[in-house]
Amino acid sequence: MTPPGADTVLVRYGEIGAKSSGVRGRMERQLCTNLGAVIDAEGVDGRVERLPTRPLVRTPDPERAGAVLSRVPGVASLSVCRTVAPERGAVVDALAETAESLYETGTFAVRARCPEGGLSSMALQRAAGSEIESRVAHASVDLDAPDFTVRVEVRAEEAFVFVDSRDGPGGLPVGTQEPVVALVSGGIDSPVAAYQLLRRGAPVIPVYIELGEYGGPDHEARAVASVNRLQRLAPTHDLRPYVVDGGEAVAALADAMDRGRMLSLRRYMLRVAEAIADREGADGIVTGEALGQKSSQTARNLKLTSAATRLPVHRPLLTLDKPAIVERAKALGTYEEASIPAGCNRLAPARPETRGRLSKLQELEPAELFAWAARDAAAATRIDAF
Ligand code: ATP
Ligand code: MG
């Protein structure tokens, strides 16, 4: 609910508050930069300020700003507020006006916090409570389980009047971790996985590998569209995907191998990702794999595919069931872009390998596999624009 005269969004962060002061300062600054970039990118008028322990955004359009900012990594929650002078009369009046316009039925309570001293929160609650009782005919106080609560946070410079708060995604501001390469396929899982790393502060460098005759013409478009969703949450970082032409390598792999070819394809992909990570100074690779979701994703086969790279392979969806991943993709807005299965399914042999050995796989796979990966990664370019 938006109080009448609202002019500010008050942002609360979670974990950042528990950091040492140096780290906290750096993370707060990054969060403020990111908040400013998001409102700019979304065309919302506003200006970010860094109050001690919480950023705020002054804006003529607090409702839209609140909606947009509530998706930004590092935001635990936020409230759309009206600011007033930190004086008893002004605060009581603003609380009463807010109740007059938004308190419709049931019971009410006033909650005041005065973390920097100045006013007494008890006295303020009592004064505002009786003012509301005199202005709102149906008013009835219930301090334990009110139907409507009007709140104020009184700081030294100004007071913030608000009614409720909206949850953000939590996590850490993008840019507070080192970048990682995200393998994105145009499927449902991979954008959700990339988002998990982004939400914890790591900028992702998306890599899409075109599979030639085994891929589908619209997979690239779907991969790009789903990454564009992520880009909107992190406009401070360049998330334009790399597109790699893997057609020749995949065709050669299909000619050379039957059993184990899906594993070697994954090994090729991880090697491509590693080469791009080295070029970009990224420190890991994230995939949308989940334990047992496909034959290439058994515990044994994840060991065999991971052995293709010296970088850590992050699999944030490892323990999630498909319906839970689908739910997350829908919430993230990447589901529409990704609702048909990825084309590499067509490459799967009749009897896929689920319990192979690394030495056996290395014997079977083409000796040039990693050379192809190096060649194809070297030729990869980022798309020009979303
Ligand atoms: P997704 O997992 O992307 O929703 P999917 O489940 O059909 O689609 P899988 O076969 O499970 O795809 O692929 C496992 C992981 O391998 C993907 O999550 C992604 O990280 C990576 N991957 C698969 N195909 C590609 C591709 N063409 N380009 C880049 N990465 C890919
Ligand atoms: Mg998958």
CATH code, 274: 3.40.50.620
One domain, residues 213 and 68:
no
* CA-nearest residue, atom 14 of ligand 1: 289
Whether residue 356 is contained in a domain is answered as yes
Atom of ligand 1 nearest to the CA of 210: 27
Residues with CB under 6 Å of ligand 1 are 183-185, 187-190, 207-209, 211, 269, 287-289, 293-294, 341-342, 344
* Residue after which a domain boundary falls, among 167, 196, 227: 167
Let me know if residue 3 belongs to a domain. no
Residue 87 lies in a domain: yes
Looking at the CA of residue 342, tell me the nearest atom of ligand 1: 7
Residue 115 belongs to domain spanning: 8-167
Q: Are residues 204 and 162 in the same domain?
A: no
Ligand number nearest to the C-alpha of 340: 1
Residue 310 belongs to some domain of the structure = yes
For CA atoms 19, 21, 27, 32, the dihedral sign is positive
pLDDT of residue 213: 87
C-alpha gyration radius of the chain: 26
pTM of model > 0.85: yes
* Res 323: pLDDT: 97
Q: Are residues 141 and 51 in the same domain?
A: yes
Residue 274 inside a domain? The answer is yes
Domain presence at residue 172: no
Residue 347: what pLDDT? 77
Residues 218 and 279 in one domain: yes
- Ligand number nearest to the C-alpha of 204: 1
112 belongs to a structural domain:
yes
pLDDT value of position 339: 64
Domain boundary among 125, 142, 167: 167
139 residue type, one letter: A
| Cα 187 to middle of ligand 1, angstroms | 6
Same domain, 53 and 125: yes
Per-position pLDDT tens, the chain of length 386 = 999 999 999 999 989 989 999 999 999 999 999 999 999 999 999 999 998 778 999 999 999 999 999 999 999 999 999 999 999 999 999 999 999 999 999 999 999 999 988 899 999 999 999 999 999 999 999 999 999 999 999 999 999 999 999 999 999 999 999 999 999 999 999 999 999 999 999 999 999 999 998 887 789 999 999 999 999 999 999 999 999 999 999 999 999 999 999 999 999 999 999 999 999 999 999 999 999 999 999 999 999 999 999 999 999 999 999 999 999 999 999 998 776 555 555 678 777 766 779 999 999 999 999 999 999 999 999 999 99
Considering the domain architecture, whether residues 260 and 155 belong to the same structural domain is answered as no
Q: How many domains does the chain have?
A: 2
Identify the domain boundary among 122, 142, 167. 167
- Which pLDDT value is given to residue 217? 72
**DSSP alpha helix (H) spans, the chain:** 21-41, 62-69, 88-102, 121-135, 189-199, 219-233, 247-256, 261-280, 299-306, 322-332, 358-364, 369-378
Measured CA to CA, the distance from residue 163 to residue 152 in angstroms comes to 8
* 139 occurs within a structural domain: yes
Distance 188 CA to ligand 2 centre (A): 7
Q: Are residues 40 and 74 in the same domain?
A: yes
List the CATH number of the domain containing 50. 3.30.2130.30
Of 180, 189, 270, best ligand 1 pocket probe by most atoms within 8 Å of the beta carbon:
189
Judge if 48 and 126 occupy the same domain.
Answer: yes
pLDDT at 218: 86
Give the pLDDT of residue 344: 52
- Please check whether residues 124 and 260 belong to one and the same domain: no
Residues 83 and 197 placed together within one structural domain of the fold:
no
Sign of CA dihedral 248, 254, 255, 260: positive
Specify whether 195 is located in the same domain as 153: no
Q: 67 CA distance to ligand 2 centroid (A)?
A: 30
Contacts of 247 (CB under 8 A, 6+ apart): 210, 211, 212, 213, 215
- Asked whether residue 210 falls in the same domain as residue 248, the answer is yes
Beta carbons within 10 angstroms of residue 334's beta carbon = 27
From the alpha carbon of 287, which atom of ligand 1 is closest? 20
User: Which of 190, 267, 274, 336 has the most ligand 1 atoms within 8 A of CB, as the residue to mutate?
Assistant: 190
